Amino acid sequence: MKLRIGILGTRGIPNYYGGFEHISEYVSEGLVKKGHSVTVYNSHNHPYKADNWNGVDIVHCYDPEYLIGTAGQFGYDFNCLADARKRNFDVVLLMGYTSSSVWGKFYPKDSTIITNMDGLEWKRSKYSKPVQRFLKYAEKLAVKHSQYYIADSRVIKTYLKDKYSIDSCYIPYGADLLSDHEREQLDNTQAQKEDYFLLMARMEPENNIESILEGFNSSTSEKSFKVLGDTGNRFGKYITHKFKNDERIQFKGSIFDNAAVRSLQNNSYLYFHGHSVGGTNPSLLEAMASEALIAAHDNPFNKSVLSSDAFYFNNAAEVRQLVENVQRHDTEKTMVKNNLHKIQCQFNWPKVIDEYEEFIMECYYARNFEKIVYGS
């Protein structure tokens, strides 16, 4: 049976922003190739203006965020839901809950509602205490008003079970292996290989960027440190100012050329992943797929993905130790190979798309015909 599926909760596809847009791009196109009718909702400010992308229908909804800031996200989500109520989707897939769950009473009543529960948004230190309290409330509303749940991390799945006594289906993000063409390009840049450290993240405190750069700044390393990410926000400006006198640290801004990012990851001496809040992080999987040697912040989210195939740090002193002491010998090469094997077996897009289709179908039939059996 082929379903009519609506995907809400993102700024839209193709991806110009972040994780949920990234997975929505792959999953929506994959579901269309499997014969389903898929609609993705885009902000009217999204650079892509056409009504169809690779077979996926695009609905452009008014997004007032450009006028009134973050509060506009609530208006945008309401506009998307109001439109979705008219379209008789078999399944509505909500990517996150931050600004949509307050409209839970307006979720389409005849649609099967599935929410990807994101990654403990209320823990993010960039939010004030009142906002963190609201996000906890929004999480509770998402649980209340949704019928089925997806967790992109086993840590999140356990949290939802312990906190709300609900089952969720664990489906992570995916990543693409290096293509033969990309590998040829990497070989051509051999002269630049492994002469720099790398970090790629949004400029937010919980990504431990300050600790990582403090550790590098205090080190005796002669290598450079490339930082990828938009530094236009308050924290980004603070970070660039703090380390402006260290000529080794290079702020490269955002790079949306995926091939260029993968080349930088592959050629780096050590890739630092500082994310400490959230589920399975897309940039971490991409670094693994690009065959980077990884140093990650020591937390359950990162360890659930990397296991023993990474170096770990908690503070600037430990970062300095890694910068000054990590070598590239057989043990480190084995770590890279093991992470590549994880991408091939656990975190590849065809597997992720298959799991999304299976769960969506399972939920639809459960709501309409039979009792659901959740995946582990």
pLDDT in tens, 77-87: 999 999 999 99
Which of 15-29, 129-143, 182-196, 359-373 bottoms out in mean pLDDT, i.e. has the lowest?
182-196
Please check whether residues 120 and 22 belong to one and the same domain: yes
Which pLDDT does position 258 carry in this prediction?
A: 81
pLDDT in tens, 60-71: 999 999 899 888
> Which residue from 327, 337, 220, 233 is spatially nearest to 289, judged by alpha carbons?
337
Please check whether residues 362 and 313 belong to one and the same domain: no
Please check whether residues 215 and 300 belong to one and the same domain: yes
Span 311-338, average pLDDT: 97
**pTM as predicted:** 0.87
CA–CA gap between residue 346 and residue 18 (Å, rounded):
21
Which of 12-26, 32-46, 119-133, 327-341 bottoms out in mean pLDDT, i.e. has the lowest?
119-133
**Within 13 Å of residue 258, how many CA atoms lie on the same side as its CB?**
17
Structure tokens at 210: 């300050």
The residue length of the chain stands at: 376
Alpha helical stretches, state H, the chain? 19-33, 65-68, 72-84, 129-145, 154-164, 180-188, 209-217, 234-242, 258-267, 282-289, 300-306, 316-325, 330-345, 349-368
Please check whether residues 214 and 296 belong to one and the same domain: yes
Q: Which residues contact 9 (CB under 8 A, 6 or more apart)?
A: 20, 41, 77, 80, 94, 95, 96, 97, 100, 116
Please check whether residues 341 and 265 belong to one and the same domain: yes
Which pLDDT does position 123 carry in this prediction?
A: 61
Please check whether residues 325 and 215 belong to one and the same domain: yes
Please check whether residues 170 and 274 belong to one and the same domain: no
Please check whether residues 120 and 203 belong to one and the same domain: no
Task: Indicate which CATH number applies to the domain containing 273.
Answer: 3.40.50.2000
Contact 124, 102 (CB under 8 A): no
Count of other CB atoms within 10 angstroms of residue 373: 8
- Of residues 134 and 316, more confidence is placed in 316
Which pLDDT does position 120 carry in this prediction?
A: 65
Q: How many domains does the chain have?
A: 2
Which pLDDT does position 376 carry in this prediction?
A: 46
Does residue 113 register a pLDDT over 70?
A: yes
Most confident of the ranges 69-78, 189-198, 237-246: 237-246
Please check whether residues 82 and 53 belong to one and the same domain: yes
Please check whether residues 325 and 190 belong to one and the same domain: yes
Which pLDDT does position 191 carry in this prediction?
A: 44
Please check whether residues 148 and 61 belong to one and the same domain: yes
Which pLDDT does position 131 carry in this prediction?
A: 79
Percentage above 70 pLDDT, the chain:
93
Structure tokens at 18: 């972040």
Q: Which amino acid is at 52?
A: N
Please check whether residues 341 and 353 belong to one and the same domain: no
Does residue 375 register a pLDDT over 90?
A: no
Q: Which residues contact 258 (CB under 8 A, 6 or more apart)?
A: none
Over the chain, what is the mean pLDDT?
91
Q: 310 is in which domain, residue-wise? A: 180-347
